[in-house]
Amino acid sequence: MLKKVLLGSLGAVLVLTAGILLGHFGIQRGSTTPDWVMDVTQDVDEALIQKFIAEVDNIAIQENLRELTKVPHMATSPGDEKTVQYMLKRWQDPDTGLDQAWREEYKVYLSFPDPNTPNKVTVVSPSDAVLYTAREKEKAYSSDQEDPEVVQPYAAYAPAGHPKGRLVYANQGKPSDYFLLNQTLDLTGTIAITRYGGEGRAGKAINAAPYGVIGVLVYTDPWDINDGKMSDNNETYPYSWYMPPSGVERGSFNTHYGDMLTPYLAAKDDTYRIPEKNITGIPPIPTQPIGFEDAYALICELGGEPAPSEWQGAFNCTYNFGGPGFKPTSNFNNSDVKLDIYNREELKNSANVMGVIRGSVEPDRYVIYGNHRDSWVHGAIDPSSGTSVMLEVTRVLGRMVKQGKWRPRRSIIFGSWGAEEFGLIGSTEYTEEYYSKLSERSVAYINVDIAVFAITIWCLFVFLQVKTPGSDSTSVYDNWIRYFNRTSPAYGVIPNVGFLTGAGSDYAAFIHFLGITSMDISYTYDRTKTRARIYPAYHTAYDTFDYASKFIDPGFTSHQTVARTAGNVLMRLADSLLLPFNCSDYAETLEGYLNKAMELYTDGLAAHMIAIEPLQNAVRNFRSAATRLDQLVRDSDLANETPLKVRRINDQLMLLDRAFLDPGAFPDRYGFRHVIWASSKAGQATFPGLADAYTRARSTGLDSDWKEAHRQLSILIQAIQGAAHTLGDAI
């Protein structure tokens, strides 16, 4: 069982990009202090946090998940509408609900297979006789897979079409894979079979088309997800957490996030929509995912030269390039692979469910907590584990509010996002519609998507307070630092955290588009004991309540730990007199990025008369400004400070990430404006825009590309200097 694989540690992708909890500030109050001053100077109530932690119930989370996974709930489906109504019912409950809850509708561009004409993958002879047919649906091991609302595996946004050609094996479909394959074969008119990993879903087809490939198959290799396990007689689900042979990872095959017809505009009924032909970042050729049992039947019959060792997988045969096509000794000799794809695009109404607890002192400052609601099928882990956790957090906090025991200093907004699986649509449309208000007022965004598989982390005190599943003594922090740590110049050995540099979940629009400090929380497994790149039932028809309760988190104590952690963070962000951000920790990250940039780029830039010293000065200035502000915070006597001074410091902390936004930095990449946390293809732990531009310039040698490297360096310097000014004195 996965319980044996799970570490008792939080895995970590910290990205509360501004840093680490400062701690609790005691406040002295005089007996003659007016009531309003008492309210304004109130800090976190530790007793209330302990009360919250104690009241989070693992069984309640289990029952939330059971309810949420009764039926498939793909975006805009009848099952999705049932989850909308369930969320509203819970958040409008008179005893445990929120102050207010409502739905917000968007009309969005989605892609579906034709339910009446299923997509097909076949091997056909020269006379078009069908020699082999891939499964159209996954094998049923329980009634969950037999539900008529289970959508056939498909590649969302891949075009319809009927390509037929010789099969070739293209590894992960990376640009380098197709380049290497093209050195051996003429790829014109071929069908490529690729494995998940190494390249985004859409990229596997986008990279193929320039070489003349006319169709793409995608499968999950057992080497990458199952530790080589392939048999459903005793090795895979329903006997373990591993993907069974017919399992297929569905997904959205697009590179941009948000509604594709309304970039930078909220997708309302009357919103202007670009022509469909102008959409970019989707497969230009028909594409279809299949299970590894079908991939096995095809790959092991391929002819041609053996592929490189790093292209080999778990099948008990040699992975060949293809002749192109099959071996002369194969029953499929001289045959083609044919894709019959009937996908279609539709405008559909999709709902976010929103809820709020109004703040008592600073209602115009928002702490936002979100998770998407839609799934590809039943979605027990992705996303319902996160939704079940969020519902438990709101139940406990809602009851405290209804009973008059607590009201946060700042307002808390809860978002149950719709249509995330199609490209983070619900959350993105929300940020586009409320761009100005969110930019001006948002303190932080907390995302809990796959609650038991991937955490971001951040404040020391929070993780010392919360215990690991099944333990009364070992804290999350202790377990985390034991299994996943790094050495900090300032603190020594500390928990290791990652950065939200891509668009993997609903935090993307908040951090990359709006510059709102963000974090993503979940519980993960011991990656030293498995090669699985994610939990094996991901996006398949086997991601069910049965799977979650038997193999992922029996007893739901890991879910409980995530709920306690997320709620603890949420309450501190909402209640702390001073926001719990440490700018010096941000400076440490910038210094680490600078050191790597100096190591890699100094000589190459200098050869083109581009100086990197101004970047050093900018980072040095940021460090000085951060140190001064941190010292001001430490020296402040909060009981005697004016509310306006506290508010001013909080605004500096809140707006820090906004200072790193540059709308012109990445003009060809929708929604990416944060020059520190944008994703990069260069594979270096340094500033993304500079890394990508420098790598390209070194590759091409073009003067125009070196000018772009200089431009990215200048953008970066200006942003860091601007952030330093944000932390400085008011005038």
Residues catalogued as catalytic? 420
Let me know how many helices (H) and strands (E) the chain has, helices first: 22, 18
Closest-CA residue to 387 (of 498, 478, 506): 506
What does DSSP assign to residue 161? Answer: B
What does DSSP assign to residue 152? Answer: P
What does DSSP assign to residue 496? Answer: -
| Distance in angstroms (rounded) separating the CA atoms of residues 136 and 128 | 19
Alpha helices in 121-190 (DSSP H): 143-146, 175-184
Closest-CA residue to 138 (of 250, 252, 291): 291
Task: Name residue 638's amino acid.
Answer: L
What DSSP string describes 49-86?
HHHHHHH--HHHHHHHHHHHTSS---TTSHHHHHHHHH
Q: Three-state secondary structure along 386-442?
A: HHHHHHHHHHHHHHHHHCCCCCCCEEEEEEEECCHHHCCHHHHHHHHHCHHHHHHHE
User: In terms of DSSP bridges, do strands 362-372 and 336-340 run parallel, antiparallel, or are they unpaired?
Assistant: unpaired
Q: How many CB atoms lie within 10 A of CB 179?
A: 11
> Is residue 243 helix, strand or coil?
coil
Going from the C-alpha of 570 to that of each of 415, 431, 653, the distances in angstroms are: 14, 20, 17
Q: Which two tokens stand for residue 434?
A: 């409320």
- Assess contact for 413 and 434: CB atoms under 8 A: no
User: In terms of DSSP bridges, do strands 442-447 and 362-372 run parallel, antiparallel, or are they unpaired?
Assistant: parallel
> Is residue 643 helix, strand or coil?
helix
Q: Which two tokens stand for residue 588?
A: 């440490």
Give burial (CB, 10 Å; 0-12/13-18/19+) of 209: middle
Contacts of 647 (CB under 8 A, 6+ apart): 362
- Assess contact for 410 and 654: CB atoms under 8 A: no
User: In terms of DSSP bridges, do strands 120-124 and 130-133 run parallel, antiparallel, or are they unpaired?
Assistant: antiparallel
